[in-house]
Amino acid sequence: MDTIVRRKYLVYSKKAFWSFVLVLAVFSCSSESNGEGDVIADTEPPTTPSGLEAENITQKSLYLYWDSAVDNVKVKNYSLYQDNKFLVGSGKASYFLENLIPGTEYTYQVLATDAAGNSSELSSPLNVSTMDPLEAELQYDSGNLEDYLGNLLDMVPGISANKYKVPTETDLKQWDLIIDAILDEDITEAVNQAVYLNYQIVEFTDIYSTPNQVYYILKEYDIRLNYWGTYVFSKTPKRKDLVLAAPHVLHDQKTGQQAAYTFRRNVGKALFLSGAHRCDTDESSSCDGTTTSCSTQYAPYRISDVPHNTNSAFQKTTENLFEALPNSVFVQLHGFGKESTDPYVIISNGTNKTPDKDYVVMIRDALLEEDNTLTFKIPHIDINWTRYAALDNTQGRYINGSSDPCSVPATATSGRFIHIEQERSKLRENETGWLKISNALGKVF
């Protein structure tokens, strides 16, 4: 019996041994080898990158991109050269450059490297000049503020124009300096800082208002690069707590003109007008929420949709004013297509919570004094109502204390954010309707 067991063990041991040898032989002959078990080193370099181009060229920045190189295994990295010196590596076929010198010509080349360390030849050189320095000088103009802003609204690009530039972190820090200087009434400093973002400040005197009113208008130069919008600040506001905004000046038709009209009649503290259509770009916002505004089906908001994106000048201006002006109230004018079960007006504070001071109810009551045929839905009163309730509006979330306005709904309300959705015929079609909104806000503020 023992002999039988030993023989079986010997047979199985031999089988296991030859199985191991067979697997080892297969492995040795696989991958890159010369047929005798030696691995062949990768010595083939990637192809030379081509198609090097530059766009979004400003005084101090530009965006470079090129056609991807090809490798027999895989391209691992690109090396970017500036004026014949290595500048930076990039894991993708593009790079955004900042902190350049205005009015300066640079020469760029790029090469590709694979995992084995093989490098291509340098690409053909690309010569690029940054924009010449703009003159930092306060501009002056006069006339009717509403007409002046109307001309700027007429130049806002439409759907899929792909004009809106996503601001960088450096851009937004620079923007903070501009807004802080305006709020500190240091217009000279604001002018000096604005020029680096292709913006200028116009001291505008409305000679058709009595008494004449002076405004500081933060607007882009005629050759626009950013399309971040226009921001107006009253030198001597009559309603210093009122901040008006029209985030969708094209999509929500007539709201830009309505906001300019209302702001001028009430002389509020500030007015924000978006600088591009909400569907200007194809790129999605990283913030939560979906909409059918730019497609036939629900899809994420676009990066150019400023009430749904924390990475914008619109958002940063809101944040600056909210922190600097403790009694300020931010009123956004929007428009919607009324369905049979909808009211004429939906007014929300961005939550379903009731604030200590309820501006929403105050505005509703003032509007009813102007037009008693209006019907309303108020989400914190009509608690089952969620349509156009602005729960994912990033400015509203910030004002209401959200821990992350991009993705976390507010759980409380400050009462300082007012989102007014208007059916077109009653309030936003023409000056007859605009006057109702203007008078109502004038009574409340």
Tell me, yes or no, whether 16 lies in a domain.
Answer: no
Tokens of 209: 């208002």
Q: What is the DSSP string of 257-301?
A: HHHHHHHHHHTEEEEEE-SS-TTS-SSBPSSS-EESTTSSS-EEP
* pLDDT tens sequence across 92-108: 999 999 899 999 999 99
Asked whether residue 73 carries a pLDDT value surpassing 80, the answer given is yes
**Would you say residue 113 has pLDDT above 70?**
yes
Domain stop point among 73, 103, 129: 129
Question: Which helix (H) or strand (E) segment is 75 a member of?
Answer: strand 75-82
User: What's the average model confidence in pLDDT over 139-157?
Assistant: 97
Q: How far apart are CA 305 and CA 285, in angstroms?
A: 8
Verify that 208 and 304 share a domain, yes or no: yes
pLDDT at site 5: 41
Q: Is the pLDDT of residue 2 over 50?
A: no
Residues 115 and 185 grouped into a single domain: no
3-state secondary structure of 184: coil
Decide the pairing of beta strands 329-335 and 417-422. Answer: parallel
Please indicate, yes or no, whether residues 150 and 227 belong to a single structural domain of this protein: yes
Task: Tell me which of 13-22, 118-127, 209-218, 430-439 is least confident.
Answer: 13-22
Number of Cβ within a 10 Å radius of residue 72: 13
Has residue 29 been placed in a domain?
A: no
Based on the domain organization, do 217 and 268 belong to the same domain?
Answer: yes
CA dihedral angle for residue 99, residue 105, residue 109, residue 110, rounded to 10 degrees:
20
Q: CB neighbours of 110 closer than 8 A, spacing ≥ 6? A: 49, 52, 64, 66, 78, 79, 80, 81, 122, 123
Average pLDDT over every residue of 390-411: 98
The predicted structure's pLDDT at residue 327: 96
Number of independent structural domains in the chain: 2
Q: Which of 79, 98, 129 is the last residue of a domain?
A: 129
| Least confident interval from 8-22, 74-88, 378-392 | 8-22
Judge whether 278 lies within some domain.
Answer: yes
Residues 228 and 90 in one domain: no
Token pair of 309 as six digits? 């994106």
Residue 238 and residue 361 in one domain? yes
Residues whose CB is less than 8 angstroms from the CB of residue 17 and which lie 6 or more positions away in sequence, other chains included: none
- Among 429, 417, 277, smallest CA distance to 349 is for 417
Do residue 183 and residue 272 come from a single domain? yes
Q: How confident is the model at residue 60 (pLDDT cuts 50, 70, 90)?
A: confident
Find out whether the peptide bond into 125 is cis, omega within 30 degrees of 0. Answer: no
As a whole number, mean pLDDT of residues 408-412 equals 97
CATH of the domain at 224: 3.40.630
Classify residue 12: in a domain, yes or no.
no
> What pLDDT shows up at residue 37?
55
Last residue of a domain, one of 111, 129, 147: 129
Q: What is the CATH number of the domain that holds 62?
A: 2.60.40.10
Residues 176 and 111 in one domain: no
User: pLDDT tens digit string along 232-255?
Assistant: 999 999 999 999 999 999 999 999
For residue 165, what pLDDT band results from cuts at 50, 70 and 90? very high
Asked if residue 393 is part of any domain, the answer here is yes
Write down the pLDDT at residue 437.
98
Decide: helix, strand or coil at residue 52. strand
Q: Residue length, the chain?
A: 445
The answer to the question of residue 386 being in a domain is: yes
Beta strand segments in 158-234, E: 199-206, 213-220, 230-234
What is the structure's pLDDT at 21?
41
Q: What pLDDT, on the 0 to 100 scale, is given for residue 189?
A: 98
- Residue 1 in domain: no
Name the average pLDDT for the chain.
92
Buried b / exposed e over 413-444, threshold 16 CB at 10 Å, is bbbbbbbbbbbbebbbbeeebbbbbbbbbbeb
Q: What percent of the chain has pLDDT over 90?
A: 86
Q: What pLDDT digit, counting tens, does each position of 321-374 carry? A: 999 999 999 999 999 999 999 999 999 999 999 999 999 999 999 999 999 999
Question: Would residue 190 count as lying in a domain?
Answer: yes
**Which amino acid is located at 132 in the chain?**
D
Q: Could you tell me if 233 and 99 lie in one domain?
A: no
Per the structure, the complete domain to which residue 95 belongs is given by 50-129
Each residue's pLDDT tens digit, 6-57: 444 444 444 444 444 444 444 444 444 445 556 688 999 999 999 999 998 8
Confidence tier at 58 by pLDDT (50, 70, 90): confident
User: Sorting pLDDT into bands at 50, 70 and 90, what band is 136?
Assistant: very high
Residue 305 confidence (pLDDT) = 98
Model pLDDT, residue 18: 45
Q: 130: closest CA among 169, 101, 159?
A: 101
Provide the 8-state DSSP code for 424.
I
- Taking residues 58-73, report their average pLDDT: 93
Is residue 437 domain-shared with residue 314, that is, in the same domain? yes
Range 288-307 average pLDDT: 96
Question: Do 291 and 401 reside in the same domain of the chain?
Answer: yes
228 shares its domain with 95: no
> Could you say which DSSP state residue 119 is in?
B
